[in-house]
Amino acid sequence: MGMTRTMSLAAACLCGLVCMHIARADDDAAVRNERWTELQRAIFPGRTISDGAGVIQLDAPPRALDAALVPFTITLPGQIQIKTVYLVIDNNPGPLAGRFTFGAAADPRTLKVRMRVNTYTNVHAVAEDSAGKLYAVEKFVKASGGCSAPAGSNDEESMRNLGEMKLKLLNEFVPGKAVQAQLMIRHPNFNGMQMDQLTRMYTPALFIRTIDITYADQPVLRIESDISLSTDPVITFGFTPREQGRLKVEVRDSKEQSFLREFPVPGPALPPTS
């Protein structure tokens, strides 16, 4: 008797905790929209966001092969001058995956990054123009487990070569003409949710907070990121080189470590400066 009463009391208490709202399927559009409304309030409080069709385009695979390395391409056709792009992975625990601010030397037409995706989610790319107006587009991505997935065999190499960088021009170098560049950074970007396969312990978080790219001392791109950014990030961006100049990249991580590299454009990389 006593047991029955205890159990029903427990059930009543539990119900008080859990019956606040009823959700249906994960892929229910209403649930997804409610989440986006909540995120807009948290990330862009009090601001209106317009439909971004024609202003910003987001491309992502509908079903990602590797949830820890989901490629996103953001395209800005250029009718409206955009100063900042926000990438929001709605259902990641830290949903603001990255903020990308373009500088004077940028060619902000195409931006590519790889991110971790934790579960089936909407992803929003939000463009902010120079007047502070916001425009958003949306893609649904099926991927799961990206946040707890161990990066695997590369971790040790990433740690050994922490902060190592490579830069590759993806088009022919023509002074005065915009070029796409691919930047590769060695960094494990541990998010604190990955487990070491040998020690069975969670690997402490260590992730990139900012990447500042300048060309001939003119700002190109500032990236603010955190735990959604993939291991060994690869970032593709555009800038307009002159006859000669140096692209400088400064990376800072969550342990306040800073890594600086300079790349003469065109030309081979210089040895690291510190």
Partner 1 sequence: MRPLPLLLLVIALAANGEDVQEPAGFWTGQINSAVPETIAGGKVIHAQELEQLLKQEKPLLVNVSNEPKRPPGMSPDAPWLPLPQEVIPGSVWLPGAGMADIAPDTDALFRNHLSQASGRDPDHPVVIYCHERCWLSWNAAKRAIGYGHRHVYWFPEGIEGWHAAGNTTVVAKPWSAATQDVE
Contact region for partner 1 (CB under 8 A) — 125-133, 166-174, 249-257, 261-269? 249-257
Q: Nearer Cβ to partner 1, position 99 or 186?
A: 99
Name the phi and psi angles at 153, rounded to 5. Answer: -65, -20
How far, in Å, CA of 197 to CA of 151, rounded?
Answer: 10
**Exposure string for 90-120, b = 16+ CB within 10 A, e = fewer:** bbbeebbbbbbbbbebbbbebbbbbbbbbbb
197 belongs to the binding site for partner 1 (CB under 8 A): yes
Interacting residues of 45 by C-beta distance below 8 A, sequence separation 6+:
none
Contact region for partner 1 (CB under 8 A) — 145-153, 160-168, 230-238, 262-270? 145-153
Q: Nearer Cβ to partner 1, position 21 or 160?
A: 21
Interface with partner 1 (CB under 8 A), residue from 73, 180, 182, 254 = 254
Q: Nearer Cβ to partner 1, position 6 or 244?
A: 6
Minimal distance in Å, beta carbon 189 to partner 1? 11
Interface with partner 1 (CB under 8 A), residue from 54, 78, 93, 267 = 93
Decide: helix, strand or coil at residue 7.
helix
E strands, 155-204, in order: 165-169, 179-185
Interacting residues of 69 by C-beta distance below 8 A, sequence separation 6+:
114, 116, 146, 230, 231
Interface with partner 1 (CB under 8 A), residue from 95, 188, 233, 241 = 95
251 belongs to the binding site for partner 1 (CB under 8 A): no
Interface with partner 1 (CB under 8 A), residue from 170, 173, 255, 267 = 255
Q: Nearer Cβ to partner 1, position 7 or 53?
A: 7
174 belongs to the binding site for partner 1 (CB under 8 A): no
Minimal distance in Å, beta carbon 104 to partner 1? 25
Tell me, rounded to whole angstroms, the distance of Cα 265 from its chain centroid: 26
Max intra-chain CA distance, the chain: 88
63 belongs to the binding site for partner 1 (CB under 8 A): no
How far, in Å, CA of 207 to CA of 201, rounded?
Answer: 18
**Of residues 209, 233, 207, the one with CA closest to residue 223:** 209
Residues lying near partner 1 in the complex (CB under 8 A)? 3, 6-7, 9-11, 13-14, 17-27, 35, 38-39, 42-43, 67, 91, 93-96, 118-119, 144-145, 147-150, 191-193, 195, 197, 200-201, 205-207, 209, 224, 226-227, 253-255
